[in-house]
Each structure stands twice: as structure tokens, then as C-alpha cells.
Amino acid sequence: MADFRVKAIVFDVYGTLFDVHSVIEECERQFPEKGETISQIWRKKQLEYSFLRGLMGNYRPFWEITQDALRYACITEDVELTPEKEEKLLNAYKQLQPYDEVKEVLTQLEGYQLAVFSNGSEEMLHPLIKYHDFQGYFDALISVNGIKQFKPHPSSYLYALEQLGVEREEVLFLSSNTWDIAGAKTFGFQVAWVNRSGGIMDELGVTPDYVIRDLTELFE
């Protein structure tokens, strides 16, 4: 189980700090009555394409994968994705809404090195963090684009660790994604699964050190 030798608290971004489905509003604006479905397919394919490209050794930045996944979702739902609509929807990903408790929690985490670690490429992460004026809370914004290997590959977590300059057991990593929790725990991080949806952990032989419903439970 986890211990308290934590020096760095590291957050996944999509689904952990920011609600990926806050794009539904823009999806609905562009494609009335199909916004929620397109958002769901978009996210599903975004993850699937990153996993497949990792397995194939055919890396592309997450921004391109996000674009490809959106195009797939629109083809699936038989709607026309014009260049103008595509631009608006992709820009919505740079303005995702944080979960309600995020800012308050970040302001209270003193004495730790704070970082985000994401599959998202720099052109996605930096505008998103800047849009919500969160830059001052983080010591590092780490993207797998620096090593071109998506999570949950072990080399991606090693890359993040090298950026942090601490030992792996001194990292507390938080994610809402069970595959990310499994990857980080297997690598040797302490992990907290942010189980916002009341889901179940994947059967991957991994048990999270902590399971919390939202970030406020960090203080418990």
C-alpha cells in the first residue's frame, strides 16, 4: 500500500482535472440532437486510436488523434464536418471545463511539487491550462509528446519521472482512467484512482493505493 513519502503530486488531465464531455455543448450547437452521442464516440475513439498507434509503433501527437477521432464520430453519425465546424469543436477541447473542486484543491496543496502528466500534446495542454489561469499552480506540464510514447507504456511514466527529479515511490499519481492507474501503479508510482463515475476497477491485477470520489478527498 501507499506511504506518505510523497514529494510530487501528479495529475492526469482529461477526465481527472477537466471534464472531456464539456464539449457536448459545442457538439450540440453544431449538430443538434446528436451532441452527446458524438461526444461519446469522439472520446472512445480518441483513446482507442492512442492505444492502437502505441501498439503499431505509429505515433502521432494527441492533437492529430483527437482530430481523427472527431472525424470518425461525425462519419458514424452521418453529419457533415465542415472546416469551420471542425475548428470550433477542436478549439472546445482547449477550453474544457474543470471539475468544480479543482481550483480550490490546487490552492491548498502546499509543500509538494505539482505537475500534470498527459497524453495530450503541448498545443492542447498549454492553452487549456492558460485558459483557466492554472499556470501558477503547477511546477511542470508534462506531455508524452516529449518521448512520443503514450500512456500506459512504462517508458512514458519513466519520462515523467525524469522531468520531476524524484524517486518513483515519491510520486502520488491521480487519474480517473483505470488503464492509467494500472500503468502508473505497475511502474511504481503511488496511485489514487479518482472514481468520479462510481465505476469498477479493471481486472489487470492492480489495486489502487487510494480510491477517491473527487479531489477533495485527497485531504483525508
Question: Which residues are catalytically annotated?
Answer: 12
H helices present in the chain, as ranges: 24-30, 35-56, 62-76, 83-92, 102-108, 122-131, 154-164, 178-187
Q: How far is CA 67 from CA 114, 125, 127, in A?
A: 29, 15, 16
Contact 118, 14 (CB under 8 A): yes
- The dihedral of CA 44, 50, 51, 52: what is its sign? positive
